[in-house]
Structure 1
Amino acid sequence: MSDRIMLFLLGFFTLTLTILSISASEDAVKPNSNDPVSFLCHEGEFFIKTRRNHSEANRGRPGEWKTACENEVLELDCGEDKTVRIIDVEYGRSDGTTCHRYPHFFMSCSSSEAYHKVHQRCDNKERCTIVANTDEFGDPCPGIIKYLKVKHRCEPVEPDTLKQVVICENDSKTLKCPKGTYLMIAEAFYGRADKSTCPHPKIKDTNCSAKNVMDIVGAKCDQKEQCELTASNSWFRNPCKGTHKYLMVDYQCIVDDLGYAAACENGNMEIVCKNSSVINVVRAEYGRGHPFVCNNSPTPIKPKGCSSPNEIAIVYGRCQGKSRCVIPATNEVFGDPCKGTAKYLELDYFCGEIWDPEDSPGAPIIKDVTKSTVTFTSEKLNKTTSSEYKTQMKGADEKDWSDVLDGKAFDLGKELSIGGLDPNDQLDIRVVKKKEDLSSCIPFARFRTKS
């Protein structure tokens, strides 16, 4: 009886979600972020010529798929002398059978940040672990059982590219890469596996190792030009009391166009692009998604992760398309997603040349948003030129645009309004030429109506 009730409730819930999804499609609505923000490209396109979508480019390449159901741990292990190469990543749900008690009821959804998260955590490492949960990847479909699928392959490491450093207990050393490259930790060990490494009179155990060493060292060093490491029980805890231990780290110096930056709470993050290139933001996160990033704060770290709902919009507004930006990692800027927990700001970005469509009027400038209305202007269109353009709108995760103000006359600084919107919904809005090739990358603005 209980199973029948459960099936009925799940079926009703799924039907409700489907109806809501259809309704959202009709109204061009999809919630995502709070503050208005301007983009130049859409649907995986970037407005920088020198960057491509890695996940899309890699699809079809040979590799092995691994799957972890929600809240399980997915482990990739390539053994010695090989490192992980991430090919494709999915977090969410794309079928009704994987990790599901009720295969006939499912909702398709995916996390847009999954590839970049796993790429950052696992690429060029001998092994890595990732928890398949919403703390790591966000929740693309609340109430639906999700899973993490990772396609990867193991690639041999050239002997001269993999370096090793050994640090005896209580000593410190600095890992440093040449300018233009960054560190990537391939393997890390803290404990003791023999008597010959860091010889010492106090050796009682030659088969002990601390947990989470890869995560801790990776959080300190990955994607930085240099970092300082200390072989200390205060960093890794003590896996074998009474035995003198050591830290052994294998690492590479990697060249990649994807940059990474992090700033602990109350610090400042500075991003600089040189040679007339500008910043393009790939991922931004303010909160806590990892226990070992910025873990030296006096503020306690709670086990559950958190993130600010406005982080991507705020970082876009401060950095997108600029050659330099400074962002304070503070609650005043991002709000406080988890009070009483030490937080940090993380950013994936790349530098490149701006590509602007010919005769583009630019993204609409959002002036005001209410529960049901958006007010916007254009800085480039006047009464004469605006007759060639039309305004379009759609839901943030939808593909098809709808004409909403066809033939409406803009004027420089004149405010236009669109009403009839639903509360707490996200929309994209753009201005295009009536006879333009809409397959090209067109500027648009993203906003969410108030609740």
Structure 2
Amino acid sequence: MLRFRLRDTLLLAATCLLMTPVDSSKSVITCGNANDVQRLRCDSGVIMVKAALYGRQDARICSAGRPPAQLVNTACAQKGTVDILKKRCDGKMTCEFDTHIVRTSDPCVGIFKYLQTNYTCVPAFHTDTCEHSYATLSCSEGQVIFVYGADYGRRDRTTCSHRRPTSQIEDVECSHPTTKVAERCNGKNSCVIKASNSVFGDPCEGTYKYLEVAYVCEFPVNPRGGQFRKVKLQLNKEATPGATAYILVCWNQTISPSAQTRPDLLKTMPSFRLSSTLLLAATCLLMTPVDSSKSVITCDNTRDVQRLRCDSGVIMVKAALYGRQDARICSAGRPPAQLANTACAQKGTVDILKKRCDGKMTCEFDTRIVRTSDPCFGIFKYLQTNYTCVPAFHTDTCEHSYATLSCGQGQVIFVYGADYGRRDRTTCSHRRPTSQIENVECSHPTTKVAETCNGKNSCVIKASNSVLGDPCQGTYKYLEVAYVCEFPVNP
């Protein structure tokens, strides 16, 4: 890997550019037909419903082909609609539902109604934790957790589905909101909670479930009124040796990554000037944060699935343990003899997971891939994976097409990871027969992209068996690449 250096200002600017901007206000309107579906989505951050109308407040909306008598009442609104949608959608990246969920009554008989939902996408960390694994929520020093929303159950057939039988993933109408995560974690700097029926109840017996959580990290309210706080920005020490950036942040209420959505907060902040470096830093604090360190723990049951995920950037596995180093973790119902050895760790676990997951936005696998040996016979073990989400460009290129990697002037490519094959049934699947997309266990890491492209300003490589080999004959494949653009070392 080439080493490079950046001035503080440039580094902060580059960080901001690689961070996902916060979506502005959005509105979706669905006419009141029998089986219509409304879909809310955030490309970054999570949904926060601001207003919702089921009824009619405009004679023009959803009026095509309707007689005037069905449009005449423009003061028609059902009470409680916003509460239904906030409960259903807040804290999710995607929320799709049949509009019949809001038709609890008829607010204006004879009037043709519609559902209009106004929402914003607010910065947040978003985690998916497979059943029997542990969700780990954590914040930087001095900050505390605030949970936007949490759901336990299942609402799609892809999340936490690795090698699961169809019967365990076909019920996608069983995800239920839960307040348990907020009750346990709000106000804490870090928090661990198990995704299990014993904690959340069982909304759909026989279905393999997962826990979705959306949360932010906030500075707690200062009861003594407004003051300045010195916040340290973590810079890449290799990129900027010895560099440390600080900014002064003032507040009267709560300052958080979600501050941009709270104009009342910003109005209370006294005016002050920042140099270009500090201004960039302050801007970054109010943008969607690049995910900090994450941890996922999965107890050592026969066919449990672990899922790593980055909402922005790509996965970089930092550490992994298969064994036991803590007597409390995964200890429920276990006799003391199975927990006694807390110096048990299998060698090579981190290498297995780095090869499997580095450079991907999502990595889901059966934990048996790390059970290459038994590092402590008779001890009940678990898999703990610590990873970060690093800024990167991510591309998917369908078979027979060309992947184009390019950087700005003066920068060069560094490939984090590349895979060729197939690991889901949706990517590059348009009009493909089922037989060509059903094998989702054929994606193999490849070094060809790094060998061809590293150190170049731009690079083109074909996604084909002739270049990358054929990991699964008869399957229509695609090439996944994660890379960054770096300034080379100045000799």
Taking structure 2 as the reference length, what is the TM-score of the superposition?
0.29
The structure, 1 or 2, with the larger RCO (C-alpha pairs under 8 Å, 6+ apart) is 1
Taking structure 1 as the reference length, what is the TM-score of the superposition?
0.31
